[in-house]
Amino acid sequence: MKSLDVLAKVLLVVGGLNWGLWGMFQFDLVAALFGGNSAGLSRIVYSLVGIAAVYYAIGWTSAQQRASVQKA
């Protein structure tokens, strides 16, 4: 589960940075890297970011408990 938590965190950071760039500069980094916002690879990245957000929204407390147990 730790690797899944790390992957979800990375995807959430990517999504947050992408939204920040869009809000400040109207620049979509994912679309620029993967060929437009309707390109297949871009849609996969957008979907993975959304799934990561749902994963963390549902398992927020369990993810925090796993992280605190691993530190001990």
The mean per-residue pLDDT over the stretch 17-25 comes to 96
Contacts of 4 (CB under 8 A, 6+ apart): 55
Pairwise pLDDT comparison (56 vs 45), residue with the higher score: 45
pTM of the predicted model, to two decimals?
Answer: 0.76
Whether the pLDDT of residue 66 is over 60: the answer is yes
- Residues 16 and 49 sit within 8 Å (Cβ to Cβ): no
Taken in order 35, 36, 38, 44, is the CA torsion positive or negative? positive
